[in-house]
Structure 1
Amino acid sequence: MVDDSGLRAEAELKLRELAGDHAALRDDQWSAIRALVVDRRRALVVQRTGWGKSAVYFIATALLRARGAGPTVIVSPLLALMRNQIAAAERAGVHAATINSANIDEWDTVHAEVEAGEVDVLLVSPERLNNPDFRDFILPKLAAGAGLVVVDEAHCISDWGHDFRPDYRRLRTLLADLPPGVPVLATTATANARVTRDVAEQLGTGSSAGAPSGSGALSGAPSDVMSGASSDALSDASSGSSPQAPSGASDGGTLVLRGPLERDSLHLGVVRLGTAEQRLAWLAETLRDLPGSGIIYTLTVAATQEIAAYLRDQGHEVAAYSGQTDPAERLAAEQALLGNRLKALVATSALGMGFDKPDLGFVIHVGAPASPVAYYQQVGRAGRGVERAEVILLPGPEDRDIWAYFASLAFPPEPVVRATLDTLAAGGMMSTAALETRVDLSRNRLEMMLKVLDVDGAVKRVKGGWQATGRPWAYDADRYARVAAERAAEQRAMLGYISTTECREEYLRRHLDDATAKPCGRCDNCTGAHRPVEIASAAVHRARERLHRPGVEVEPRRQWPTGLKELGLSGRIRPEIAAEPGRALGRLTDIGWGNVLRRLLAEGAPDGPVPDEVFDAVVAVLSAWRWAERPVAVVTMPSATRPLLVSTLGERLATIGRLRHLGSLTYRQGPPGRQHNSAQRVRALRGTLAPPEADLTGGPVLLVDDRVDTGWTMTIAAALLRQSGAPAVLPLALATTN
């Protein structure tokens, strides 16, 4: 029998080592620690950012290790989060190590340290759970010897959550294989009642733990809900406690500790401005007056680069940050923000869960996230260790277009999934690249689908690729439709947040099913203190010049896609048939020219002559193009949807540039339709396109199209023109999707 009073005193001592001499455990923190250390239960903690969830698992780890338990395994979704967790563990006297994609060279050393009992906490990414070597050789040992398993950011488990990740579903296998008595803790700051219920059931020890996700929410053991009453916005390194919540726990079930989500340091506001240049000018001016340092969130990678470049032009110390940023640069940017050497990071949601800077003074969103839950999770980064933090949303009309784009990447329709399973069943083990030649999906979407099928048991990841298992699999169209409907409802709710005249924090907390939600008395609606929207015309003009600065370089393809050897296409593209680096007017994801181009090229938009505004900007792109040799001729691409747009663009460029207009390439048997990945696109285009019957030998040729997606249409067309005598081909498009 464990002495609770003595154990709590020991836990309080560990907390002070972690958070400072004045720290004291909240009652719900103690309830969670006791459930893990004494009762060896499974628990879900849903508490606001800064409440102290990491303290729970680091203290529980220290107590369990002192009693002879094995190491804690923490499944953590982001590298930034892992780095912060390792630093926090060291403060608690807990030795932590990680296995992730950024430290491959250290894996053998980490494995050896785990085997030797020198690691108290091992952090792994969810993707590691299905790496064949890790899954088959390392994971069974970890599961057998673990003293505690922690699932951080547990809302990712639920496909009802705002950040569902298929890899997280694999945790069911890990949890089902744990020996009896190994405690499990799941934590999140952003889960409404539906997600909380789903996660708690998946944590349960019921026999349905391996059921396919397509069958709906898993039916685990019963759950107890304990909701605390504290409304203090205290950080991990703070003191204070909440009143004891009612218990009513039943042994064997998942204990749910759900607290109020109020953050009394956050001052929420919305500033509605009509144009992208107004928003950018307003941001540059307002940034000078905001306290401390912070995060400026955007919806796309392109926007991080555009906004960061403009803010640097205006004298602000900022850096762009996204999932495409080099890992070393990402780490350097995080450290610069933590050290207050930057005013802000301009970031996508890649900088989100777990980034720990208690004195973050502001969070601004240029563009609205697609749900109130996702928004509240991101703004929760601010104000954890300061009395006041500014939270500002700058919505734009393009937000809905971006939401629609991400929604289009949902789980594919059943015929595509069945075709993939049939291909694997017939072909045996196949790599993702080989599957791409048979399945018309983009690489990212194909990998996402395979991960879901893996979790559902229909396919299995093996060394070198994937193979079908032959197990029955049902396409749960009703569930996918319900998830899509839930996403659409979240988008409507986000629009409601923008337009509401009620308390903004109460609105967000209601959407998180926080029963304690009430008017905050701090937001712009509660106080009536709305930020002014007037901007100096000179500032708007500067922002417009930056946003509408035309020209994006389009890198030519250098390698043929994998899996096309039977077509004679493999390895590097020979220099004598390759295109030169090209140009596009702008990216479809830009907040400058992107707004114009999205309307012009939208599905269903009418075809017509190139607009003067767009043509003049393309001429500016050509004027700034530092080519090795000036083009002497223009050739246009055939277009099934916008022939007039493309042909008039080519004709006008030929006239104004005094270039020979050599006509258009043609399709021998009609356009091949749209393909979503590289291998499929090349296969469809090869042998379909034909060059114009004209003399191409006089000098470089300008090859004109409306948009560049995969880049393969331009690549195949350029090869044909080079083979027909063109000494060089310069691709030019209105828009690029990259």
Structure 2
Amino acid sequence: MPSSPTAPPATDLRERATVALRRLVGRDEVGFREGQLEAIEALVTSRRRVLVVQRTGWGKSAVYFVSTALRRAEGAGPTVIVSPLLALMRDQIAAAERAGIRAVTLNSTNADEWAAVSGALARGEVDVLLVSPERLNNPRFRDEQLPALAATCGLLVVDEAHCISDWGHDFRPDYRRIRDLLTTLPDETPVLATTATANARVVTDVVEQLSAGGRDDDGSRGGRDVLTLRGPLARASLRLGVLPLASPEQRLAWLIAHLADLPGSGIVYTLTVAAAEDVATALRDAGHDVAAYTGRTEPAERIRLEEALRDNEIKALVATSALGMGFDKPDLGFVLHLGAPSSPVAYYQQVGRAGRATERADVLLMPGPEDKDIWRYFASASMPRQDQADAVLRALVESGRALSTVALESIVDVRRTRLELLLKVLDVDGAVQRVPGGWAATGQPWTYDAERYQRVSEARDREQQLMVDYERTDSCRMAFLQRCLDDDTAQDCGRCDGCAGAWFATAIPDAAINTARSRLEQPGVVLEPRAQWPTGMDRLGVPVKGRIAPEVALAQGRAVARLSDLGWGQRLRELLRATAGEGGDRPVPHEVLRAVVDVLRTWDWAERPVAIASVPSRRRPELVSSLAAGIGELGRLPYLGPLDLVDGGPVGEPGGNSAFRLANTWGRLGLGDDLRRRLSGIPGPLLLVDDVADSRWTLTVAGALLREAGAPAVLPLVLALEA
């Protein structure tokens, strides 16, 4: 596209851009890095669409903030930045304020400010508006504000643009809406997309998305040309290493012994929420100043923890991927992974948090044998299934009206998180639309793209293998990551353990091993009882609603561990895998029974149970019955036996949603005459034993039957919690 006829001369633009950059950075001697001014000129002078792929710390935000300052000085409307995380928005707003740029956000946490923000936009008092991709489909924002913003914005920025791509390590369906937004922009509106983690496949996909809309040079409606600016991705400050330690206790012990030796403050990443919480607790008990940071952390607490790490008030945050793209601490001294991400691209993105303004930062990976199971779980949860998509569309069409997510749960057997993802995919594909009151079918034809999802699945399998190859390579690790990102400038870094040998301690003191073992061998997790029946159960023929009545509710229970726990969780995962199905069932191992006894010993119940019953098991009857009998023998409690299975017992696949899990259990458990007789007049609480609790509806229904038959209280006890 030719330059605007009113564009300033290149030398004038360079001078004004330099002034804006120095105001942004706060230093008079700073200049542009290679590629920054080229991107700014393409946006401001030529009004182009630009994709910038540069390493973390290169200064991608400087490009869009300087471009914003120049465009606003020319009289253009505000810059709209589509940003994926609230934490990232907070950093961007702070950076804008330092540069004298007025930045605001519309998000789910500041609804009380929307009217004021809208007024400021209307009065031209806003230079930058930050929104999440999900906000683009909020009915009120989409219908009332987005059309005017699209018509008047001076620059559209898509931050973390790899999220657009199916192939990106952090694909988010809502990012696909940006393609539709691009088709509504005036031809002269420049667009910038930025990312630090895109291989050639992702770049191709993002460029295809960015080219949507606009006019070709001959004036016909068609795709827009996209300028791609890509730099070398090597990070000179990072010193990479891998320490393979087979057992969870060895990995935790290494952290206990050596966390204090790592430079400055940093991040310890784990793959699950449970692991983050357990590791943080163990490290605090060992005297380290750390805190857990996960998707369960409240927003206000997240802000407090981020600031504590920025200010070096704590040694580390033990975090899941919830602390990722949105966190900026230029002097972060280390990133350590307790368990590997599922791809080198995701790994590069996370380690890129470190060493942005320091000469050296340490990066260490401690993979675990359980990593592949966790990868497999998250991969399956993120892929839409055709049968579930068809069921959702059929429910919306047959209803003839909008249905909320909660209402859909009583019609289609899809768990909440998967259902929300599926609705987003169908929305982006045009088959459904978010409207006031929920979701509605559009009537547009939709076909499940099995070939596309198969390609994505195969690509993820290859990336998982690349992660394993990274762990095992004896060559340069930085060069390996660069090659995974299709960076043709890759060369040996001279710093990593592949180039220079192990820079990290490998010895683990016996005292640390003993401390870690003691921590991980402590069994016992609280099992909270269900308090509320699912909504809409009448649709499924189950006559319950509202709160579960106190006279039939379970008491608080216990489990030996969560299956995602580092210690007992891994042992129980292996036991349950080995005992599932015909031929695998066997009595409970002695060491597991001993752990159960430890749980019982530390259980702070109001009244000790006086007898035991068990949930009947189709998959592991011997494991469950021997567990109940063993507890009875050791605790000198009578084992009253299992409940009955009616018509084969509970049905349905694991992982379904709450409403269907209850419906699949309702009416499929019963009490035999002998068990009912023995319950009559029971003088105290009853211990109810099972192998695994996932939805907890089987335990809830069994407990209600036992309470109705005379048990004054029912205390659930299981080997493992699914989550």
TM-score (norm 1): 0.93
- Aligned equivalent of 1:203: 210
Determine the structure 2 residue equivalent to 1:596: 571
Of 308, 311, 314, which aligns to 2:283?
311
Q: Does 1:547 align with 2:520?
A: yes
Q: Distance in 1 between matches of 2:252 and 2:336?
A: 12
Corresponding position of 1:719: 704
The equivalent residue for 1:71 is: 78
1:663 counterpart = 2:641:
yes
Match of 2:688 among 690, 696, 703: 703
Structure 1 CA distance for aligned equivalents of residues 596 and 668 of structure 2: 29
Is contact 1:201-1:220 (8 Å) kept?
no
In the alignment, which residue of structure 1 is the partner of 2:670?
A: 690
Structure 1 equivalent of residue 364 of structure 2 = 392
1:331-730 alignment, distance < 5 Å: 331-428=303-400, 429-565=402-538, 567-602=542-577, 605=580, 606-671=584-649, 672-675=651-654, 676-692=656-672, 693-694=675-676, 695-696=678-679, 697-698=681-682, 699-730=684-715
Take 1:635 and 1:115, find their aligned partners in 2: how far apart are those partners? 67
Taking only the aligned residue pairs, the percentage that are identical comes to 61
Q: Are 2:227 and 1:255 aligned? A: yes
8 Å contact kept, 2:103–2:129: yes
Unmatched runs of 5 consecutive residues or more in structure 1? 210-218, 222-251
3-state SS in 2 of match to 1:623: helix
Q: Is the 8 A contact 1:691 1:717 kept in 2?
A: no
Count of paired positions: 699
Take 2:90 and 2:332, find their aligned partners in 1: how far apart are those partners? 18
CA contact (8 A) 1:204 1:253 kept: yes
| Counterpart-to-counterpart distance in 2, 1:180 and 1:493 | 41
Matched residues in 2 for 1:569 and 1:109: separation?
44
Cα distance, 1:410 vs structure 2? 3.3
1:105 Cα deviation from its structure 2 partner: 2.1
CA contact (8 A) 2:643 2:670 kept: yes
Which runs of structure 1 show a deviation greater than 4 angstroms over 4 or more consecutive aligned residues?
Answer: 206-209
Give the secondary structure class of the aligned counterpart of 2:707.
helix
C-alpha displacement at 1:415, in angstroms? 2.2
Give the conservation status (yes or no) of the 8 Å contact 2:524–2:561: yes
Partner of 1:225: none
Query: Which residue is 2:273 aligned to?
Result: 301
443-452 vs 347-356, greater mean Cα deviation: 347-356
2:344, 2:93 → 1: CA distance? 30
- Give the 3 Å change call, closer, same or farther, for CA 600–637 of structure 1 in structure 2: same
- Cross-structure match for 2:11: 5
* Aligned 8 A contact 2:187 2:215 in 1: no
Shift in CA distance, 220/526, structure 1 to aligned 2, threshold 3 Å: farther
Partner Cα separation in structure 2 for residue 62 and residue 168 of structure 1: 26
CA–CA separation in structure 2 for the residues paired with 1:40 and 1:551 = 61
Aligned with 1:48 (options 49, 55, 67): 55
8 Å CA contact 2:182–2:210 kept in 1: the answer is yes
Letter in 2 for 1:469: T
For 1:508 and 1:736, how far apart are their aligned partners in 2?
Answer: 36
Deviations 1:359-405 (A, max 9, x none): 00000000000000000000000001110000000111111111111
Alignment deviations for residues 109-145 of structure 1 (CA, whole Å, 9 cap, x no partner): 2222212211111111111111111111121121122
Counterpart of 1:433, as a letter, is V
Letter in 2 for 1:620: D
Cα distance in 1, alignment partners of residues 274 and 247 from structure 2: 17
State the secondary structure of the residue aligned to 2:363. strand
- Give the superposition deviation at 1:26: 2.1
Q: Decide which moves more: 262-271 or 685-694.
A: 685-694
Name the SS of the counterpart of 2:374 in structure 1: helix
CA RMSD of aligned residues (A): 1.6
What stretches of structure 2 of length at least 5 have no aligned partner? 1-6
The within-5 A match list for 1:127-146 is 127-146=134-153
Cα 1:62–1:587 change in 2 (3 A) is same
Q: Secondary structure at the match of 2:393?
A: helix
Q: Distance in 2 between matches of 1:315 and 1:632?
A: 41
Checking the alignment, whether the CA contact within 8 Å between 1:155 and 1:190 is kept in structure 2 is yes
Question: Are residues 1:325 and 2:297 paired?
Answer: yes
8 Å contact 1:296–1:365 — kept in the other structure?
Answer: yes
Q: Matches of 2:31 and 2:211 in 1, distance apart? A: 30
Query: 1:101 is matched with which residue: 100, 104, 108?
Result: 108
Distance 2:38 2:222 in 1: 22
User: Could you give the per-residue CA deviations for residues 152-196 of structure 1, whole angstroms, max 9, x where no partner exists?
Assistant: 000000011111001111111111111221111100000000100
Structure 2 Cα separation of the partners of residues 68 and 179 of structure 1 = 16
Q: Indicate if the aligned counterparts of 1:203 and 1:220 stay in contact, CA closer than 8 A.
A: no
Q: Closer, same or farther in 2 for the Cα pair 1:258/1:220, shift >3 Å? A: farther
Q: What SS does the corresponding residue of 1:122 show, helix, strand or coil?
A: strand
Which residue matches 1:731?
Answer: 716
Q: Distance in 2 between matches of 1:14 and 1:710?
A: 55
Task: Note the C-alpha offset of 1:98.
Answer: 0.9
Q: For residue 283 of structure 1, what is the aligned residue in structure 2?
A: 255
TM-score (norm 2): 0.95
Q: Distance in 1 between matches of 2:280 and 2:215?
A: 48
Question: What whole-Å deviation, never above 9, does each CA across 1:523-557 have from its counterpart, x for those lacking one?
Answer: 01101235342211221011011112110001111
Cα distance, 1:413 vs. partner?
2.7
Task: Note the alpha carbon deviations across 1:576-596, whole angstroms, 9 max, x for none.
Answer: 111111100000111111110
Which amino acid in the other structure matches residue 719 of structure 2?
Answer: L
SS at 1:360 equivalent: coil
Q: Distance between the aligned counterparts of 1:286 and 1:262, measured in 2?
A: 27
CA displacement 1:225-280 (0-9 Å, x = unmatched): xxxxxxxxxxxxxxxxxxxxxxxxxxx41110010001000000001112111111
Q: Distance in 2 between matches of 1:102 and 1:691?
A: 49
Displacement of 1:208 after TM fit?
Answer: 12
**Aligned-pair distance for 1:206?**
4.6
Contact 2:179 2:212 in 1 (8 A): no
1:354 positional shift: 3.7
- Partners of 1:603 and 1:456 in 2: how far apart? 41
